[in-house]
Structures are given as structure tokens and as C-alpha cells.
A and B are shown apart, each in its own frame.
Chain A
């Protein structure tokens, strides 16, 4: 009994979140709300993976839309053209995404952060161009329609509620994997390499290998999310997988909180809910996101999960405990 209690206590946050996520469809039959929640789930999967890469390993990908695109198009093409079983198609697409991530990651991850950012950005653009240009395979800008729903053992996951449970079930498994990863030997070595790559190398962490590993995991998360998405909306087109989407994914990670697994939860919720409120001012949405990115990086680098801590710090500073005044620490002089 005590063991059970201590287990519940240790994992209270996860269990609480899981209960809320899985219980949500019991309170609404509204298809629109259920769809928003389901899309939040797929978005959450991508952001979780990207959060591992950016927050834990300190590497940025500006081409993550491409990995989601590989999953989406992999599933779409395999199921509509060759009538592959949707689950097998999802697995094959994820495998492809992981392979591509490995091929891209090995050379670029050895370099400094800028190069990975530009490398992934270039990769994302190439994937987008190919999706548009390979008309014989992807049907170009018209996209592919008629993608079947997922089903298993007689359960039709085309129904909003069933789909919600499926997506959030998988998303929760991914969350558990991420939480475990952060607390594991792998997570500790990632954190070490984020702080000082040279120091962690000297302590025997194979830094390049670890970074590629995380990129591959995050590519698989994104690919699976892409597959789920197209099986629900039954349609895919290249316009969903642009550079802007990659930037919005990175924004979600930053706003939630870099390096905090729970930040991915809050970031996904905020980034899905905010556009709903800004619906009237749709043109301004990306302006808001861009400005938020800058402001958060300058004033709240820990993201919204760190608001509590930041408020405490501010209170202490206002309380006069702060000795150091602000200002540019760089020495000034005429030249």
C-alpha cells in the first residue's frame, strides 16, 4: 500500500495530466472542440520531440515540419496508392524519417549550432520543394485526398472520441518516454553536453552520437504525429509543411519552456488556443508569435513554465535584495 502511495506521489503530475487528457471527450460531444483537442495532441507529439532536441541537447531544428511531412505523405502515399496497412505505413514512414534524420544529423551535428539550424532549414525547404514538384508521387500542390481512417480490432478511429483517446494515448506514452529519458543516463549526458560539450566529451560522453540519437527520436515523434493527422483529416497538401510551420514548432518549444518537458504541454496548449482567440485578427497571429519569441528569449528564457520562479525573482529584486544594477557590462571607450 505504501509503495502504491509513493508511486502515485512521485508520478502525480503525469497521472493527473493523463486523467485530464483522457477524460476530456467525456465532457464534450462537440466535434469542433474534439478536433482541436486531437490536433493539440498531434502538435504536442512533435513539440515533445523538438523539446528534447532543443532543450536537452541544445540543438535547434528549423526543418521539423519536414519530418512531420514525411510521416504525413508516407502514410498518405502508401495507403492510397499501394493499399498498405495504415499501421504498417505509419511504421515505415517513421523509419524513413529516422533514417533521413540520421543522414542529415551525422554531418551537421558535428558543427556549431548555426549550421544545424541552417542545415535543417535547407533540408526542410528541399522536402517542401520536392513535395510540390514530384507531382507523379505527391500530386503537387493539389495534395492527396481519400486517406482512410485508422482502425484496429473493429474500433473505428475515424470517430472523434476514439481518435482522441488513440492520439492522446500515444502522446502520453511519448511524454512518459521523454520524462524517463530526461532522468536517465542519456538525459544527464545530454544536459552535460548542453552546458559544455568539451567537458562532457572529456568525461566520456560520445556527444555527436547522442545528438544524432535525439534528432532521430524527435524525427520519429514528428513523423508519427504527421501520420495520425492525415488519417484523421483524410487529406494532405504541401502547404501544411512550410518553413513557417517549422518556426511555429520551435516557437511552441520556446514559449513553453526550453528544456522543460512539461513546457511542451503548456506551449502546445497555448499555441493551439491562442489562434482560436485571434481568429478575427488572423493576419496578426504570426506577428504575435514572432514578437513573443523575442520577448520570451529576452525576459523569460525559461518559458511560461518558469513564470512562478521569475515572479519570485522579480519580487526579491523589487524588495531591494538585488545588489547589481542593470546595464551593459561591456567596457565603453572611444575608437
Chain B
């Protein structure tokens, strides 16, 4: 089991709409190159993707509002 890989998939799915869409339409291509077990794949498939989209959309709105591309919050 690779928690790192699971986290990376979830994190990228939230941040990246294209990756999120690929997870819906062609997930096997993603899972094939990641260190995830069949149980983890099943769990990721069972996630509430509307909620993931909602989190991602919320981030996009926040980024737009705050002008984040001009100011890195961590620096």
C-alpha cells in the first residue's frame, strides 16, 4: 500500500481539472503507473467526485479572488 501515491492522486485530482476528468474517463491509465493496490483503486473509484469537483472549483474561485498567481502564499 502506498499512502503517498493515494494522496498524490487525490491532491492532483483536486488541483487539476484535466487530471480529474481523466480519473473519471480513463482511470486505468493513471493507476497503471502508480503504486496503488486494488483496494486503494476501488476506494478512489468510490470517492464522491462531485465533492472533489466542488473542492476544486472552490479553489479556482479562491485563486481568482486572491490573485494567487501573483503572490505565493508560502513565501
A and B associate: no
Q: Point out residues on B near A: beta carbons under 8 Å.
A: none
